[in-house]
Amino acid sequence: MLSRLKATRTAGLEVENDVLIGRNGTLFIFQGGHKLYEQAQGKHPLTAEARDAFAQNLRSRRALCAERGIGFAHLFPPDKQVTVAEDYPLRDVYSIGAAVREQLDAPFIWGGDMLTRSDFHRTDSHWNIHGQFKMMPPLLHELGLDDLLPEVLGWRDGLAERKFTGDLGVKLSAQPSEIASVLPPNPDTTRYGNGLKPAGNEGTIEVVLNRKPLVRRTLLVFGTSSTQV
């Protein structure tokens, strides 16, 4: 099986097992299910139909929650090649998220304006704990929980470090690693799942019970793997 695709097949790019090896050893999803390299080239730009559907979803969900006195926030994480563009082989990276932000007045949190290279793992496709903390102020504000921000940001003082090989690193034959900051496990939480996690994100349900919560509310999260890390 030919797992490493050479220049003759990828126009000078170094790709192994659908992992694009960028500058400084930074790893990116090459194509994946959403054709990310083609997206970055602008081959699949945002359509008016998709933009309008997204806007309508935001308006209807916000209205539904407002009618029931429920806080609502929509967080739009940027793809890694958008935030860590300096290590990506393309100079002008097209971003669906940035296009949505430019064309919509509907309120949502766009991480592309806030995150930098240091907020993403080198060997993983997701943001790291520092990027997650950066998104806390706007997220808590949208949920009406600004008063919790000092305590939440104080959790940074308890970060630990561990050796880590991300979801992209494990797909390479060399399996490169990095040192990542992590929050220690919370002994007051218990997790339950539906057992679908090994099959991917599709259909995954996870319930987390906290015996000593900062606020006694139920948080319901819908999303991709970016909301699970």
**Structure-token match 């991917």, residue found:** 200
Comparing CA positions, the residue from 72, 74, 71 lying closest to residue 108 is: 74
- CA atoms of 116 and 120, how far apart (whole Å): 8
- CA atoms of 19 and 5, how far apart (whole Å): 10
Q: What is the pLDDT along the chain (229 residues), one digit of tens a residue?
A: 222 333 334 567 999 999 999 999 999 999 988 899 999 999 999 999 999 999 999 999 999 999 999 999 999 888 999 999 999 999 889 999 999 989 887 788 998 889 999 999 999 999 999 999 999 999 999 999 999 999 999 999 999 999 999 999 999 999 999 999 999 999 999 999 888 766 566 788 889 999 999 999 999 988 777 777 6
pLDDT at 4: 33
Beta-carbon neighbour count of residue 24 at 10 Å? 10
**Structure-token match 């991480």, residue found:** 111
User: Are residues 166 and 125 in contact, defined by beta-carbon separation less than 8 angstroms?
Assistant: yes
Per the DSSP assignment, residues forming a β-bridge with 208 are 191
Q: Give the torsion sign (CA, 183, 189, 193, 195).
A: positive
